[in-house]
Homo-oligomer: A and B are copies of this chain.
C-alpha cells in the first residue's frame, strides 16, 4: 500500500506540473499587442531576472559552503568514515535548488502575466481576473508539485528522517535569504517611490516620471512572488518533513502506514487544489474577492471529502483524520480573525482611519494596538489546535499525540497550492495596475485593476494568517523531531535509550536558552527593517538627484525618461548587502547557545524563538495589513480622501507597515524553521561538545 501511495504522490505532483504548464500556455496565449506595455513590461522582467541572477549566485556560494560544512561534520565528522554525510550534503543542495527553482518559475510567469492582465483589463474585469489568477496558479501548482515531488523522492531513496530534514534545511536556508533579500528589495523601492512621489511631489502612484516606479514593480515580483514562493515552499516541506520524522519513529510497529498517511494527505491536498484552481472564474455579477474565496472553499471541502474517503479505504485511524481537519478548521478561523483586523469594512481599520485625522502618531498607536490585539485569536487558535490534536490522538498510543499535531499542520497546509495561487495573484495584478497607469491604458482599465488589486489585499491577510498558524504547528512538530534526533544520537553514542524526555523550563539550561531564543526574532526583524531603511535612504537620495538634474522630468516633458535602472541597481545592491547578516545571526546564535548550554539549552532556545517569533510575526503582519487598508480606505474618499491630513497620516502608517508586513513579519516564520532545522542537524554535536 505504502509504495502505491508514494507513486500516486509522484503522479499527482506530475499532474500539477501538467496543470501548471497548461495554465502557463493559456496565459502566454492571451493577447498583449500594446507596444508600451510590452516595453515597460520587459524592463520589469529584465530587472527581476537580473536581481534573481545576482541573488542566486550569492546564495549558490552560500549553499556551497553550507554543503561542504555538512559534508565534513554532519551527522558525524566525515573522517570517522560516515557515508551518510555525502547523502546529507546532496539532500541539502537538492532542497536549495528545488526552492530556487520554485522562485524562478514564479518570476517567469508573473512577469508575463502582469502584461497580459494589463491588456486584458481593457476588455473588462472578468478576463483580467482570469489572467491574473491563472498566472498566480502556475506558481501555486509548481511550488506544491516541486515540494511534494522532492520530499517523495528523497524519502523513497533514503527512507531516513535526518536526510529529509537536510532537504528541508536546504529549502529553508534558501527561503530565509530569498524572503529577506526580496523583502528588502521590494520595500526599499515601494517606500522610496511613495515618499518622494506621493508625499513630496504629489504625483500619482505608478507615475512614469518617478525613477523608482519600475524598481517598485520589480520588487513586487522578487519579493512577493519569488520570496513568498520560497517561503511557502519551505513551510510545506518543513511540515511534511516534521510529520515524516514522527511517522518514521512510529512505523517500527505499524508497517509504514503512518508514513503512507502523510503522503496520502499531502497528495490529496494538492489534488484538491488543482481542482479548486480550475474552478476559479468570476460570474457575471461577481466580485474578485468572492471568486478567490469561493475556489478556496471548493478546495477545502473537496479536501475534507477526499481525505475522509482515503481514511476509509486505507483504514487510517479516524483520530488522525480528525487532527488534520482540526488543523484545516483552525487555520480558517485564524484567517477570518486576521481578516477582521485588516479588512476596511471592520472596526479596527475604521477606528484607525478615524483617529488618523488627529495626526500620524495616532495612526501608528492605533495600528500597533490592534496589531497586538490580533495576536490573541491566532495564538489561542494554534494552542487549541495543538491541544485538541493531542487529546484526540493520544489514545492511539505513545508518540501519536505528537503525530497528531504534525498531521494537524499537514492539514492546515493541505490547501497551500490554493493559498500560493491567491498570494501570487496579488503582485501580478498590482504590477498590471502599474502597467495600465504607465502605458496610459485609460481610466476604465485603471478601475478594473484597482478593484482586482484591492481583492488581492483582502485575501492576502487571510492566507498570511494561515501561513503563520501552520508554521506554529509545524514547529511544535519540529521540536519533537529535534528531541528524537537527540535521542537517536544519544543511543548511537551509548548514552542510553530515551536520553531526553522533554524540556523542563525549571531546568536552568532550558531557561537560559528560552530567554536568548526569545530575543532572536526581535533582533532579526530589527536588522531587516534597518536594512530597508538604510537602503531606502540611498534610493531617496538618488530620486532627488534625478529630479534635480534631469531637465524636464518633473514637468513630464514628452520623451524625457528617468534612469529607472539606477534605482533598480540601488535596490539590488542594497538588498544583497543587507540579506546575509540577519540570516547568519540567526544561525550563529543557535550554534552559540548549543555549544554553550547543550541540547537542553537548545530546547529552550527553540521554544523561546517560537513563542516570541509567533507574537512578533502576527503583530507585524496584521498591523502592516491594517495600515495598508487604512490608507486605501481614506484614498477611497473617506475623511477627506487623498491630500487630506488624515491621508498624510495614513501614508506614514502604510510606510511603517510596509517592512512590517512584507519584510520582517513573514521572514520570521522562515527564521524559526531554519533555527529548528539547524538544531536538529547539529543534535549530535551539541550533545557531545557543549561547554556546560
CA of A376 to CA of B386, assembled, Å? 29
Within 8 A of B (CB), among A354-370: 355, 358-362, 364-366, 368-370
Whether B504 and A373, one on each chain, are in contact in the complex, defined by CB atoms closer than 8 angstroms, is no
Whether A652 and B526, one on each chain, are in contact in the complex, defined by CB atoms closer than 8 angstroms, is no
Q: A403 in the interface, Cβ–Cβ < 8 Å?
A: no
Contact with B along A196-208 (1 / 0, CB 8 A): 0001000000000
Once A507-B502, A511-B386, A512-B386 are accepted as A-B contacts, the answer to whether A358 and B529 lie under 8 Å apart by CB is: no
Whether A533 and B611, one on each chain, are in contact in the complex, defined by CB atoms closer than 8 angstroms, is no
CA of A386 to CA of B597, assembled, Å? 13
Query: Which residues of chain B come closer than 8 Å to A519, judged between CB atoms?
Result: 375-376, 379-380, 615
Q: Which of A156-164, A285-293, A448-456, A476-484 contacts B (4 or more CB under 8 A)?
A: A476-484
Our pick among B390, B391, B506, B514 for the contact of A480 (Cβ within 8 Å) is B506
Between A366, A472, A513, A518, the greatest number of chain B beta carbons within 10 A of the residue's beta carbon is seen for: A518
Query: Which residues of chain B come closer than 8 Å to A505, judged between CB atoms?
Result: 479, 502-505, 510, 603-604, 607
Our pick among B366, B504, B518 for the contact of A612 (Cβ within 8 Å) is B518
Our pick among B358, B603, B655 for the contact of A540 (Cβ within 8 Å) is B358
Chain B nearest Cβ from A250, distance in angstroms: 16
Our pick among B365, B523, B615 for the contact of A376 (Cβ within 8 Å) is B523
CA of A251 to CA of B503, assembled, Å? 29
Whether B372 and A615, one on each chain, are in contact in the complex, defined by CB atoms closer than 8 angstroms, is no
Q: A227 in the interface, Cβ–Cβ < 8 Å?
A: no
Q: A277 in the interface, Cβ–Cβ < 8 Å?
A: no
Q: A387 in the interface, Cβ–Cβ < 8 Å?
A: yes
Chain B nearest Cβ from A589, distance in angstroms: 9
Whether B508 and A401, one on each chain, are in contact in the complex, defined by CB atoms closer than 8 angstroms, is yes
CA of A503 to CA of B501, assembled, Å? 12
Whether A361 and B191, one on each chain, are in contact in the complex, defined by CB atoms closer than 8 angstroms, is yes
Q: A325 in the interface, Cβ–Cβ < 8 Å?
A: no
Which residue of B is nearest A404, CB measured?
A: B508
Query: Which residues of chain B come closer than 8 Å to A604, judged between CB atoms?
Result: 505
Between A401, A476, A652, the greatest number of chain B beta carbons within 10 A of the residue's beta carbon is seen for: A652
Whether A372 and B523, one on each chain, are in contact in the complex, defined by CB atoms closer than 8 angstroms, is yes
Chain B nearest Cβ from A199, distance in angstroms: 7
Chain B nearest Cβ from A679, distance in angstroms: 14
Copies in the complex: 2
Our pick among B199, B365, B402, B537 for the contact of A656 (Cβ within 8 Å) is B365
Q: A5 in the interface, Cβ–Cβ < 8 Å?
A: no
Chain B nearest Cβ from A263, distance in angstroms: 25
Whether A358 and B502, one on each chain, are in contact in the complex, defined by CB atoms closer than 8 angstroms, is no
Q: A219 in the interface, Cβ–Cβ < 8 Å?
A: no
CA of A305 to CA of B502, assembled, Å? 42
Whether B195 and A511, one on each chain, are in contact in the complex, defined by CB atoms closer than 8 angstroms, is no
Q: A580 in the interface, Cβ–Cβ < 8 Å?
A: no
Query: Which residues of chain B come closer than 8 Å to A361, judged between CB atoms?
Result: 191, 195, 651-652, 655-656
Whether A375 and B523, one on each chain, are in contact in the complex, defined by CB atoms closer than 8 angstroms, is yes
- Number of A residues with CB within 8 Å of any CB on chain B: 84
CA of A615 to CA of B372, assembled, Å? 13
Whether A511 and B476, one on each chain, are in contact in the complex, defined by CB atoms closer than 8 angstroms, is yes
Whether B506 and A483, one on each chain, are in contact in the complex, defined by CB atoms closer than 8 angstroms, is yes
Within 8 A of B (CB), among A483-505: 483, 501-505
Whether A522 and B483, one on each chain, are in contact in the complex, defined by CB atoms closer than 8 angstroms, is no
Once A508-B386, A512-B387 are accepted as A-B contacts, the answer to whether A358 and B526 lie under 8 Å apart by CB is: no
Within 8 A of B (CB), among A206-230: none
Q: A614 in the interface, Cβ–Cβ < 8 Å?
A: yes
Q: A659 in the interface, Cβ–Cβ < 8 Å?
A: yes
Which residue of B is nearest A534, CB measured?
A: B355
Q: A587 in the interface, Cβ–Cβ < 8 Å?
A: no
Contact with B along A101-143 (1 / 0, CB 8 A): 0000000000000000000000000000000000000000000
Q: A79 in the interface, Cβ–Cβ < 8 Å?
A: no
Query: Which residues of chain B come closer than 8 Å to A383, judged between CB atoms?
Result: 511-516
Query: Which residues of chain B come closer than 8 Å to A614, judged between CB atoms?
Result: 515, 518
CA of A532 to CA of B480, assembled, Å? 43
Whether A615 and B355, one on each chain, are in contact in the complex, defined by CB atoms closer than 8 angstroms, is no
Query: Which residues of chain B come closer than 8 Å to A355, judged between CB atoms?
Result: 533, 537
Once A379-B519, A523-B375, A526-B369 are accepted as A-B contacts, the answer to whether A391 and B692 lie under 8 Å apart by CB is: yes
Query: Which residues of chain B come closer than 8 Å to A369, judged between CB atoms?
Result: 525-527, 529-530, 533
A-B contacts, 10 listed (Cβ < 8 Å) = A191-B361, A369-B525, A372-B522, A380-B519, A383-B511, A386-B515, A402-B506, A483-B506, A504-B505, A611-B612
A contact set with B: CB distance below 8 Å: 191, 195, 199, 355, 358-362, 364-366, 368-373, 375-376, 379-380, 382-384, 386-387, 390-391, 401-402, 405, 472, 476, 479-480, 483, 501-516, 518-519, 522-523, 525-527, 529-530, 532-533, 536-537, 540, 597, 603-604, 607-608, 611-612, 614-616, 619, 651-652, 655-656, 659, 692
Apart from A386-B512, A515-B614, what are 10 other A-B pairs with CB-CB below 8 Å?
A: A358-B536, A360-B652, A361-B656, A364-B652, A372-B526, A373-B523, A382-B515, A383-B514, A518-B615, A522-B619
